[in-house]
Amino acid sequence: MANMINEPQHILMRLNSKSWRQTTISGLALLLLFVFACKPDSETVVLVEPGFGENRVSDAWLEALRTRQSKPYLDSLAQVARPLTGDEHDWFTLIQSRAARWNSFRDSLSIPFDGITLNDSIFVLTGYLGDDDGFTYQHRTICFDLTAFYDNYGAATSDENNSRIDRIFAHEYTHLLHKAWAKENNLTLKDFQDSILWECLYEGIGMYRSLSKKWTIQNDSLPAATREALDKVYPVFVERLLQIHQLENPTAAEKTALNKNLSRGNVDKKWGAFPVAVWLMLESKGDDKNLVRWIDGGPKSIPDLAKKYLPEQYRQKFQTAF
């Protein structure tokens, strides 16, 4: 493209793999930013904010990515000059269209976090080329990567993506609630085992919110797909936590290896998030007030849930350490 500057190869590989349909959004971005600036802080709404303008990502988007990407990558991304693709723009439009609906979710999503509410406006910052589809930044911002949404889920215009984007918002908003709970309750993680148990709970309750109907209870029982996926993650869940329990001072490399796939990859690879999401679904019994005790238990809730729901052959092994 004539207006694209020279970029490092790892950015160019992603750019060259797509055909770009230019869309002009800089005027829209400036208008939205003006509107956001005029919103009173006391107004509790969900605000969609573009993390881009004039064919570049914004400083706000780069800052949100700072702990998630290397400095060389961010330096490269800061130099990329290109408009949104048509597919990215479609995702941006879809996200904008759901903001009012998402604001209506807030009370119900807060139920498991007894007494915790987010009384400020919540920002949904949208950008591109950041890798993860959704994540949170600090305490009031949800970040959505338009490139990742298209790469992972296809065209925003598909019927399935209307419900998918709602579930992903619910997932990330739940993380903001959980951060607020941790702050309010002075959560302290004393060691690596505590941090892993916390991550299982943190990612598990998030995944509980984003499970599609394929995985949820049907006719008072778990569907075959869920049971099959649990059969795959249960041995990994037990083995990883037993290994973590036995390590007194794990190295950085050991921590990375043991944490791998806790909440990333296909559903049947998410050895920490998926079983906890299913267990919380079973515990809720259709009423999320039943989850308050498990959220209030913090990291200690994970061994208790595991001992309640693991099949006997795995439970016996798990109980040798927990």
Q: Where does residue 220 fall: left (phi above 0), alpha (psi -120 to 50 degrees), or beta otherwise? A: left
Cβ–Cβ < 8 Å for 100, 34: no
Amino acid at 266: N
* Averaged confidence pLDDT in the chain: 89
Place of tokens 């956001």: 36
Residue 11: its H or E element: helix 9-16
For residue 235 the two structure tokens come to 């041995």
* pLDDT at res. 43: 65
Nearest of 296, 61, 304 to residue 185 by alpha carbon: 296
Determine the Cα–Cα distance for residues 275 and 317; give it in Å rounded to an integer.
17
Nearest of 166, 171, 164, 181 to residue 207 by alpha carbon: 171
* pLDDT at res. 44: 82
Cβ–Cβ < 8 Å for 294, 204: no
Determine the Cα–Cα distance for residues 196 and 255; give it in Å rounded to an integer.
9
Q: Over the stretch 70-104, which tens digit does the pLDDT of each residue have?
A: 999 999 999 999 999 999 999 999 999 999 999 99
Nearest of 132, 305, 135 to residue 230 by alpha carbon: 305
Determine the Cα–Cα distance for residues 269 and 155; give it in Å rounded to an integer.
25
| First-to-last C-alpha distance (Å) of the chain | 58
Q: 220: which DSSP letter?
A: T
Tell me the residue ranges of DSSP E strands in the chain: 46-50, 52-53, 56-57, 122-127, 134-137, 141-145
* pLDDT at res. 12: 37
Based on the number of CB atoms within 10 Å of its own CB, is 294 exposed (0-12), middle (13-18) or buried (19 or more)?
buried
Determine the Cα–Cα distance for residues 10 and 69; give it in Å rounded to an integer.
13
Amino acid at 275: P
Q: Over the stretch 10-53, which tens digit does the pLDDT of each residue have?
A: 333 444 444 434 444 444 444 444 444 444 444 689 999 999 99
Contact partners, residue 254, CB within 8 Å, separation at least 6: 247
Indicate the pLDDT class of residue 279, thresholds 50, 70 and 90.
Answer: very high
Q: Where does residue 186 fall: left (phi above 0), alpha (psi -120 to 50 degrees), or beta otherwise? A: left
Amino acid at 101: R
Dump the DSSP string for 164-212.
Answer: HHHHHHHHHHHHHHHHHHHHHTT----SHHHHHHHHHHHHHHHHHHH--
More confident residue, 6 or 293: 293
Q: What does the pLDDT average to over 153-179?
A: 97
Q: Over the stretch 286-318, which tens digit does the pLDDT of each residue have?
A: 999 999 999 999 999 999 999 999 999 999 999
Contact partners, residue 17, CB within 8 Å, separation at least 6: none
pTM value?
0.86
Residue 125: pLDDT over 90:
yes
